[in-house]
């Protein structure tokens, strides 16, 4: 597309996002330094409409971008709107106050929703990509134990269970030490093999308790291996006109599987993805756009976060906010 038509499309997108009103050729010529007459703008708009980048919602109205027009606008963005120094400091201070992973995720999803005025979605770091940092065993009674698994990403999994035999502090302390020696730094995928011979390393009287602990540990890794996702800011959609009903959008957001598909596969944390309108596979979300990216440590994405909103979205600002927040979350996890 020639530069002038691209400039006109960019102006239409910016004006429509700003005003939520169809944009006419005369208004474009007056508000933007396009360097051509309104007649030329009108001709170029006719070509853009014929090519499917803009459309006329009502007779005698101005034009609005189509999904194809938004896509070209995003693909041709020269820069993503950076956060101001004050905004960056506010993000860093707010997230740095978190005391554990749950608090980090909770703060992140609320912060993203507030900054972008969209629905924010944050995925917990997956256990598949996690390693064991520490195992804790806490006696709750003579036959009840609390198992706590702490990962390298700060995720905490815990389970209370009954044992078939009485337990004592010395046995629990020995078993705790054995588990941490075997598992410290091990990926979750390696845990079953790492603890395979552990029952042989405890006394006969401690074997029933050790067997119960190992059984619960392995069950925890399997059962809690699902991807956990939270979202916030659904109220931000209340004043948006969707081609589908708002109920369709909200119902879709309640499904964890849908949220996983929205965020997409976890890859390079630096990769920012934007899916616009009909590019979303789920029918109820085809009037929305999703901006998502990975967050993680040491160049490896542990999970993804992003926002969902109407296709009439401030793409440069939203993309900048999502990328900035993801970077700070990664830094916090790396320092935890």
The whole-chain average pLDDT of the chain stands at 85
Question: Which one, of 68, 111, 118, lies nearest residue 88 by Cα?
Answer: 111
Which of 75, 99, 118 marks a domain boundary?
A: 75
Residue 249 and residue 160 share a domain? no
Residue 223 has pLDDT above 60, yes or no: no
Asked whether residue 80 is domain-assigned, the answer is: no
Residue 174 has pLDDT above 80, yes or no: yes
Residue 110 has pLDDT above 80, yes or no: yes
DSSP-derived 3-state class of residue 132: strand
Q: How much is the pLDDT for 207?
A: 86
In tens, the pLDDT along 248-297 reads 888 888 877 777 777 775 456 668 999 999 898 887 788 899 999 988 87
Q: How much is the pLDDT for 239?
A: 77
In tens, the pLDDT along 5-55 reads 999 999 999 999 999 899 998 888 888 888 888 889 999 999 999 999 999
Q: How much is the pLDDT for 70?
A: 96
Highest mean pLDDT out of 109-118, 166-175, 230-239, 289-298: 109-118
Element (H, E) at 150: strand 144-151
Residue 308 and residue 285 in contact, taking contact as beta carbons nearer than 8 Å: yes
Residue 235 and residue 118 share a domain? yes
Domain of 149: which CATH number? 3.30.390.60
Residue 234 and residue 116 share a domain? yes
Q: How much is the pLDDT for 274?
A: 92
Distance (Å, rounded) from C-alpha 274 to C-alpha 67? 12
Residue 108 and residue 44 share a domain? no
Residue 237 and residue 310 share a domain? yes
pLDDT (average), residues 181-206: 84
Element (H, E) at 204: none
Residue 13 and residue 70 in contact, taking contact as beta carbons nearer than 8 Å: yes
Residue 183 and residue 316 share a domain? no
Residue 59 and residue 27 share a domain? yes
Residue 175 and residue 120 share a domain? no
pLDDT (average), residues 161-175: 87
Residue 309 and residue 330 in contact, taking contact as beta carbons nearer than 8 Å: no
Q: How much is the pLDDT for 302?
A: 78
Residue 178 and residue 141 share a domain? yes
Residue range of the domain that includes 99: 85-126+227-335
Domain of 266: which CATH number? 3.30.450.40
Domain of 7: which CATH number? 1.10.10.10
Count Cβ neighbours within 10 Å for each residue of 147-165 and write b for 16 or more, e otherwise. bebbbbbbbebeeebebee
In tens, the pLDDT along 115-159 reads 999 999 998 887 666 788 899 999 998 888 999 988 887 778 888
Asked whether residue 266 is domain-assigned, the answer is: yes
Residue 194 and residue 178 share a domain? yes
Between residues 127 and 313, which one has the greater pLDDT?
Answer: 313
Q: How much is the pLDDT for 98?
A: 83
For the whole model, what pTM was predicted? 0.76
Residue 107 and residue 63 share a domain? no
Number of domains within the chain: 3
């Amino acid at each position: 597309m020639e530069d002038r038509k691209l400039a006109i499309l960019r102006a239409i997108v910016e004006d429509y996002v700003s005003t939520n009103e169809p944009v006419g050729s005369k208004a474009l010529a007056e508000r933007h330094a396009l360097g051509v007459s309104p007649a030329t703008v009108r001709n170029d708009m006719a070509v853009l409409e014929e090519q499917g980048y803009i459309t006329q919602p009502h007779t005698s109205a101005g034009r609005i971008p189509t999904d194809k027009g938004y896509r070209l606008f995003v693909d041709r963005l020269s820069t993503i709107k950076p956060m101001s120094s004050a905004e960056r400091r506010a993000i860093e201070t707010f997230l740095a106050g978190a005391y554990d992973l749950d608090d980090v995720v909770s703060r992140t999803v609320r912060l993203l929703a507030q900054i972008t005025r969209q629905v924010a979605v944050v995925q917990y770091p997956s256990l598949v990509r996690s390693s064991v940092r520490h195992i804790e065993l806490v006696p709750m009674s003579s036959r009840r134990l609390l198992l706590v698994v702490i990962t390298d990403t700060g995720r905490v999994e815990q389970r209370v269970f009954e044992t078939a035999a009485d337990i004592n502090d010395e046995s629990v302390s020995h078993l705790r030490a054995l588990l941490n020696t075997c598992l410290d730094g091990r990926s979750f995928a390696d845990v079953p093999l790492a603890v395979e011979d552990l029952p042989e390393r405890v006394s006969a009287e401690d074997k029933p308790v050790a067997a119960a602990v190992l059984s619960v540990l392995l069950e925890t890794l399997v059962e809690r291996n699902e991807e956990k996702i939270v979202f916030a800011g659904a109220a931000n959609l209340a004043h948006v006109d969707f081609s589908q009903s708002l109920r369709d959008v909200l119902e879709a957001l309640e499904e964890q599987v849908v949220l996983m598909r929205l965020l997409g596969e976890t890859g390079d944390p630096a990769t920012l993805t934007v899916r616009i309108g009909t590019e979303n596979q789920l029918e109820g979300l085809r009037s929305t756009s999703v901006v998502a990216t990975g967050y993680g440590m040491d160049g490896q994405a542990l999970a993804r976060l992003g926002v969902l909103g109407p296709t009439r979205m401030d793409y440069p600002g939203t993309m900048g906010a999502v990328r900035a927040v993801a970077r700070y979350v990664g830094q916090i996890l790396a320092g935890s």
